[in-house]
Amino acid sequence: MKSIQFNAHHSPVGAFASLTLGFPGAKGGLGHELKGPADEPFYVGLEEIDREGYYQALPFFEASDDKSADYDVEGHNAEFSYPNRISHFSWESITRQFAACTDEWSAGDLKFRVITPYPTVPDPGLGDAEALKNAVCPGVLLEVEVDNSSSQRARKVFLGYAGSDRYDGVRVIGQDGLIGVGQGVATAIATKEPGFKAGVAWQPEMVVNSRQPDNEPFLIGSTGILWTTVPAGEKRTFRFAVGFFREGTATTGIKTRYYYRRFFNSIEEVLNHTLSRADQLIAEAKIQDASFANGLTEDRAFMHAHAVRSYYGATELLEREDGTPLWVVNEGEYRMMNTLDLTIDQLFFELKMNPWTVRNELDLFVERYAYEDTIQFPGDDTKHPGGLSFSHDMGVSNNFSSPGNSSYEQGGLKGCFSYMTAEQLLNWSICSSVYGLKTADHSWIKGKQETLKACLASMLNRDNPNPAERNGVISLDSSRCFGGAEITTYDSLDVSLGQARNNLYLAVKGWAAYKLIAKVFADLGLTQESQTANAQAKKAEATILAAVEPDGTMPAIIGEGVPARLIPAIEGLVYLDYIGFDLSESKPLVEALKTHLETVLKKGVCKFEDGGWKLSSTSDNSWLSKIYLCQAIAEKILGFAPDHEADKAHVAWLLDPANAYFAWSDQMLAGKACGSRYYPRGVTSTLWLD
Amino acid sequence: MKSIQFNAHHSPVGAFASLTLGFPGAKGGLGHELKGPADEPFYVGLEEIDREGYYQALPFFEASDDKSADYDVEGHNAEFSYPNRISHFSWESITRQFAACTDEWSAGDLKFRVITPYPTVPDPGLGDAEALKNAVCPGVLLEVEVDNSSSQRARKVFLGYAGSDRYDGVRVIGQDGLIGVGQGVATAIATKEPGFKAGVAWQPEMVVNSRQPDNEPFLIGSTGILWTTVPAGEKRTFRFAVGFFREGTATTGIKTRYYYRRFFNSIEEVLNHTLSRADQLIAEAKIQDASFANGLTEDRAFMHAHAVRSYYGATELLEREDGTPLWVVNEGEYRMMNTLDLTIDQLFFELKMNPWTVRNELDLFVERYAYEDTIQFPGDDTKHPGGLSFSHDMGVSNNFSSPGNSSYEQGGLKGCFSYMTAEQLLNWSICSSVYGLKTADHSWIKGKQETLKACLASMLNRDNPNPAERNGVISLDSSRCFGGAEITTYDSLDVSLGQARNNLYLAVKGWAAYKLIAKVFADLGLTQESQTANAQAKKAEATILAAVEPDGTMPAIIGEGVPARLIPAIEGLVYLDYIGFDLSESKPLVEALKTHLETVLKKGVCKFEDGGWKLSSTSDNSWLSKIYLCQAIAEKILGFAPDHEADKAHVAWLLDPANAYFAWSDQMLAGKACGSRYYPRGVTSTLWLD
């Protein structure tokens, strides 16, 4: 039996919001723009069948404290406190049905469902306002089902949460046909079901067991509760909406507001709209639950559902002051915006769900986050012409960084927080080529041909300033490093994946980039550029093949004598396969990568003792998003059988009690989420379905 | 030597904002709508004279942690951390000059001043937009003075803070002629001084000791630092502005925005406006520093300055959707809005500073927070006609409560959180009468004559339903108590001040209320109502005098045999004296109260062992705001000499290390701030000056 004690996102699309639930205690709740769960108590409870005034609730809260002591310092007023009457359903008594869009808990006579379909977000430029409004409505649907058919008496049922915002208190919503509770104008839960009442107090008992039901809400409390009574002998299903709302400036640097502000002027409108579409939302969720799991094993269906949820909780559709849309994926606990080395991993999922968002991201990289540099050999201050690249990200925590700069990259370093100039150049080149080739958006790619030419020139320069000495692989570092060294997306890994120069992972990725832009150039009739790119691809192929050692593996850093061996050597294959390249043209390299992977994919080299994949033989640091990606490549391109033992290990990592609080996490140090927690990048798992 | 280690508010007017500083550690900072200090590190530091790259700073931060571990999980990148190079100036080396509007720290060659004059806020209805803009501009002026005249080398000086908001990160501001750092669009510090640079990092050392000065800001950090270099042999003074800004909906229930939004569209505009008025702000602060201390002993000048600061940090000028202004005083750590039993204590200060705000508060009580009830005798369910009263407050934590209801009052109780119906009726009646009589705002008081008639009727009913049995004192409880008992503003005190019925404190206050409204009615030509009120005052006087015991004291509860004795018995006198009543007409009562106070004002009865005043002989609970009020009454009306020993004790309470974090606090349990911390009510001390 796998644990069901894990947090998962339950999010609208593009609202950077999440009802996070599932981990024991006050460890979830209604989070807005947060780096982790909101750590709020969340209540769904039902009166016990045989004890009036006693309740059992899902265990997403801690036992209540008595907060009256701050007001009643001499303790004369014990009369104000209520005895705790709400116990947790035991975890043993709870079952959980977890899919990508529906998460259902059952315990005793209570069922609780959170329903979050992920509608396609229409390209705002195409103007289908109604579809866009529905897609980005920042609401989430809940259902509570009470089976009181075997009871001889009416029982109370309640739902609510305690807000954790430090500015705005919790209020009662009683307008626009709604009854609800909310924190300021930012978060709320409401219903239109007849018979519900709303209360605010320090503890749910003050509302559901109120000694004076005619009391007005005690707004000093921070716990908002909705409740009603289910008659004896009856079954009832109640619907609720969770709403999120941010009114004003959403981001600085580039001033924006949330795109949904075009359609909604208040959280009450959001709540009403969500409830009005309940039937469609449930139907959509059902269809998507099936399609997101289609053909997957139980372990993979679980991981994919979990990853999709964490991705959507990080999405944010903004509107710039000129009315244009701006799509952001926030980087989980780090909250960096549109980190380009995540964009390339999320590419496959975004192209499936909302292809225009890829274009939107790539356009903004060109518009604002491109830069030109000079480059230098290690240990040599001579500056050679470099060329175009792109910043690591576009900012962090709602602040867009200045043009040409990320929030992350700093000069003077050789490790974490150094520049990723070469890798981001490859990432933009690959993403734009894949987008253009996959979507056949000819006018867009044609509009980018000068940028792609500049990318090619920049890649050539970074290989070697002297054309005669080029080998297809990155050999120089950006002068932005001030004598430091460029790193890769595996920023906190040891040199095996941390160093960009001569890195095998980047070499294969660079080879793929050359081949992709060669094809784009060919399609654009730019024969000479296409030939140049293809020639570089051949050089890269030769360099990589020359690095094969007698045991059939290739070292992590080409030509530097490192012992490390890498799984991500194979990453580059995926982009070519994805757009339908005939890989038989590159059979020697593909075969060499296959042999490499076969050789390293064993315990003690690139597998942990539990069978989980270990990206580098010399580090315990592993990224699940990249494992999923490499699994798909191994199976779909290199002909490996699915590694069920590894899947089981990866599921166990995510469900480890030390990790399960963070929903889906990426970076695992020997199976413990140590960074990149609460993270959007896991949707590389979408490749399992193709 | 008194301790200088205490937090104090440094606030603009009406912005519900505070730069709180002075307590050791990261225990102050830029707080917006908070119930206490923001708990942010705040940095003002200067390079050491003889060690380059080492700094001393005021001790308002903790030593830095290395936050890179979350990103660099295997610790390859120690290169990114900077050694701690900033030490605290020792408290022994620091002097602090603390006045109402200027707070200056000196240490070594550094001086740091925070300048917060409190301009009169013009009545918005009178339309002086420029004066109003200046008055409510949500900015605070800072000055940093560096004396490098004895140094042979240039030294760096820096200023900054780490933002504690969980939504928005810290950014660099470099527009509109400003150089600054800010958290989202909500808080910021900026300067226009030439030569300053801004950086963001995890620790100030990364900015001021940057190994790569050309690096862009590291926006992942949450610490924003402004710095420059002072040449050898020179003295420099630099000016900065702190800004606060909240864009959208400020409150629910009554939807409002901050009034300053009429004048400012961004925090940058606030920063610029504050800096542009620096000379005037400094001049105003100097004048006010003197006037707030005028004629006061050092102890009293300290307490009054402290109280004034805490009052302004709680003030909030809002604009309703129809454009009308709404003045709120937030209730310190409790954040209740316009608590009426605080309004009456703040009355004297508000009438001095901004009389129209009193009218504004009283109007909203009539418009939205008035109610009619029935009343009952204790232990008897029979409902008698009650009448008009007003809710305890208007809401809490930015949420206005529903019409006729406070956020606080609950039925079914006998202690804390019960109704204050009778007391709030007296409070509104007294405040409106005092406002009308003091300001001679005849048209306003004439417009309220029906309300005042209803107040009188309600007071009569609460005395006794049978006119023949009336004794001028409250004898019934509101039916809103559902059989519980009304309480007083001393909500968490024992029955001596906690019970409303027959309470000596309310009896004298009621006597004063009758006399005040009698005068108002007489002025309005309502002779009969005036006579009725005066007759009730006489009955109250007789009842109170009849309660005098052989020792010359009166019991806290009249006729119930309680042993408790109260200082606040004398409170009612102040309102009559304040508007110039001839108290010789009430000589027997005044003399009785004087004898009462003389008798109880001794250690073991109504003084603590340290000489501090103890409001009730049977409780260790004491409220400083009420002590200040009663001190003023004792001295100005009853002829007592100032109690310097008590003042010294009260200062010691505020400066106790257990209390000094909360700036000015009201409720002291044997000298420990146990409730009503970070509180606005202390401005009763304004009566010391009159």
Do B477 and B450 sit in the same domain of this protein? yes
The alpha carbon of residue B304 is apart from the nearest alpha carbon of chain A, in Å, by 25
Say which of B33, B212, B413 has its CB closest to residue A80: B413
| Residue B30 domain-assigned (yes or no) | yes
Distance CA B412, CA B9 (A): 38
| Residue B384 domain-assigned (yes or no) | yes
Query: B491: pLDDT confidence band, cut at 50, 70 and 90?
Result: confident
**Chain B residues with CB-CB distance to A218 below 8 A:** 407-408, 410, 417
**Chain B residues with CB-CB distance to A224 below 8 A:** none
Of A256, A289, A322, the last residue of a domain is: A289
> What local confidence, expressed as pLDDT, does residue B73 receive?
60
Query: B69: pLDDT confidence band, cut at 50, 70 and 90?
Result: low
Best of A216, A394, A421, A668 to substitute, by most chain B Cβ atoms within 10 angstroms, is A216
CB contact under 8 Å between B674 and A405, yes or no, is no
The alpha carbon of residue B397 is apart from the nearest alpha carbon of chain A, in Å, by 5
pLDDT in tens, B222-253: 999 999 999 999 999 999 999 999 999 999 99
> What local confidence, expressed as pLDDT, does residue B492 receive?
72
Mean pLDDT, residues B340-368 taken together:
98
Contact A644, A297 (CB under 8 A): yes
The alpha carbon of residue B296 is apart from the nearest alpha carbon of chain A, in Å, by 32
**Cβ of B110: how many Cβ atoms within 10 Å?**
22
**Chain B residues with CB-CB distance to A214 below 8 A:** 411, 482
Mean pLDDT, residues A651-656 taken together:
98
**Chain A residues with CB-CB distance to B410 below 8 A:** 80, 212, 215-216, 218
Nearest to A462 by CA among A480, A483, A478, A482: A478
List b or e across A127-146, with b for residues whose CB sees 16 or more CB atoms inside 10 angstroms: eeeeebbbbbbbbbbbbbbb
pLDDT for residue A65 is more than 60: no
> What local confidence, expressed as pLDDT, does residue B70 receive?
64
> What local confidence, expressed as pLDDT, does residue B502 receive?
95
In 3-state terms, what secondary structure has residue A579?
Answer: coil
Do B508 and B616 sit in the same domain of this protein? yes
| Residue B570 domain-assigned (yes or no) | yes
The alpha carbon of residue B527 is apart from the nearest alpha carbon of chain A, in Å, by 40
Query: A71: pLDDT confidence band, cut at 50, 70 and 90?
Result: low
Say which of B253, B396, B415 has its CB closest to residue A72: B415
- Looking at residue A337, the DSSP 8-state letter turns out to be B
Best of B67, B82, B336, B416 to substitute, by most chain A Cβ atoms within 10 angstroms, is B416
Q: Residue B405 carries which side chain, given as an amino acid letter?
A: N
pLDDT in tens, B247-306: 999 999 999 999 999 999 999 999 999 999 999 999 999 999 999 999 999 999 999 999
pLDDT for residue B561 is more than 60: yes
CB contact under 8 Å between A216 and B248, yes or no, is no
Residue B447: CATH number of its domain = 1.50.10.10
Q: Count H helices, E strands: chain A?
A: 17, 27
CB contact under 8 Å between B80 and A415, yes or no, is yes
| Residue B93 domain-assigned (yes or no) | yes
The residue among A591 and A75 whose pLDDT is bigger is: A591
Of A289, A312, A330, the last residue of a domain is: A289
Q: Detail the DSSP E strand segments found in A551-649.
A: 621-623
Query: A419: pLDDT confidence band, cut at 50, 70 and 90?
Result: very high
CB contact under 8 Å between B399 and A214, yes or no, is no
Q: Alpha carbon B322 to chain centroid distance?
A: 28
DSSP string, A460-526: HHHH-SSGGG--SS---EEGGGTT---B-S-TTS-HHHHB-TTBHHHHHHHHHHHHHHHHHHHHTT-
| Residue B267 domain-assigned (yes or no) | yes
pLDDT for residue B68 is more than 80: no
Inter-chain Cβ pairs, chain A and chain B, closer than 8 A: 224
pLDDT for residue A78 is more than 70: no
Contact A413, B77 (CB under 8 A): yes
pLDDT in tens, B387-438: 999 999 999 999 999 999 999 999 999 989 999 999 999 999 999 999 999 9
Judge if pTM exceeds 0.90.
yes
CB contact under 8 Å between A398 and B76, yes or no, is no
Nearest to A36 by CA among A688, A690, A673: A673
> What local confidence, expressed as pLDDT, does residue B79 receive?
75
pLDDT in tens, B127-182: 899 999 999 999 999 999 999 999 999 999 999 999 999 999 999 999 889 999 99
> What local confidence, expressed as pLDDT, does residue B595 receive?
98
Q: Detail the DSSP E strand segments found in B269-354.
A: 315-320, 325-329
Do B486 and B522 sit in the same domain of this protein? yes
Do B443 and B478 sit in the same domain of this protein? yes
CB contact under 8 Å between B494 and A252, yes or no, is no
> What local confidence, expressed as pLDDT, does residue A68 receive?
63
> What local confidence, expressed as pLDDT, does residue A536 receive?
98
Do A481 and A547 sit in the same domain of this protein? yes
Mean pLDDT of chain B: 96
| Residue A7 domain-assigned (yes or no) | no
**Chain B residues with CB-CB distance to A205 below 8 A:** none
Phi, psi of B477 (to 5 degrees): -110, 150
Percent of chain A with pLDDT strictly greater than 90: 93
> What local confidence, expressed as pLDDT, does residue B77 receive?
52
Query: B65: pLDDT confidence band, cut at 50, 70 and 90?
Result: low
Do A477 and A565 sit in the same domain of this protein? yes
Query: A497: pLDDT confidence band, cut at 50, 70 and 90?
Result: confident
Say which of A79, A410, A669 has its CB closest to residue B415: A79
ipTM field: 0.95
Best of A266, A399, A400 to substitute, by most chain B Cβ atoms within 10 angstroms, is A399
Do B334 and B221 sit in the same domain of this protein? no
The alpha carbon of residue A211 is apart from the nearest alpha carbon of chain B, in Å, by 7
Which residue has tokens 């999440």? A18
Mean pLDDT of chain A: 96
Nearest to B541 by CA among B506, B572, B586, B582: B586
Task: Provide the CB-side half-sphere exposure for A21 (13 A, CA).
Answer: 28
Mean pLDDT, residues A253-274 taken together:
98
Do A364 and A245 sit in the same domain of this protein? no
Query: A72: pLDDT confidence band, cut at 50, 70 and 90?
Result: low
Best of B81, B172, B220, B672 to substitute, by most chain A Cβ atoms within 10 angstroms, is B220
CB contact under 8 Å between B77 and A397, yes or no, is no
**Chain B residues with CB-CB distance to A219 below 8 A:** 395-397, 399, 401, 407
> What local confidence, expressed as pLDDT, does residue B493 receive?
77
Tally of domains within chain A = 2
Say which of B247, B401, B491 has its CB closest to residue A248: B247
Best of B417, B623, B659 to substitute, by most chain A Cβ atoms within 10 angstroms, is B417
| Residue B437 domain-assigned (yes or no) | yes
CB contact under 8 Å between A397 and B667, yes or no, is no
| Residue A6 domain-assigned (yes or no) | no
- Looking at residue B567, the DSSP 8-state letter turns out to be S
Q: Alpha carbon B346 to chain centroid distance?
A: 9
Owning domain of residue A21: 17-72+81-289
Of B289, B316, B334, the last residue of a domain is: B289
Do B225 and B306 sit in the same domain of this protein? no
Do B304 and B285 sit in the same domain of this protein? no
> What local confidence, expressed as pLDDT, does residue A492 receive?
72
> What local confidence, expressed as pLDDT, does residue A176 receive?
86
pLDDT for residue B72 is more than 80: no
What secondary structure, in 3-state letters, does B405-474 show?
CCCCCCCCCCCCCCCCHHHHHHHHHHHHHHHHHHHCCHHHHHHCHHHHHHHHHHHHHHHCCCHHHCCCCC
> What local confidence, expressed as pLDDT, does residue A498 receive?
84
Assigned token pair, A567? 């799984």
Task: Provide the CB-side half-sphere exposure for B36 (13 A, CA).
Answer: 14
pLDDT in tens, A189-208: 999 999 999 999 999 999 99
**Chain A residues with CB-CB distance to B167 below 8 A:** 32-34, 397-398
pLDDT for residue B63 is more than 70: no
Do A270 and A314 sit in the same domain of this protein? no
Do B684 and B616 sit in the same domain of this protein? yes
Which chain A residue is nearest to residue B68, measuring alpha carbons?
A: A416
Q: Residue B582 carries which side chain, given as an amino acid letter?
A: D
Which chain B residue is nearest to residue A334, measuring alpha carbons?
A: B220
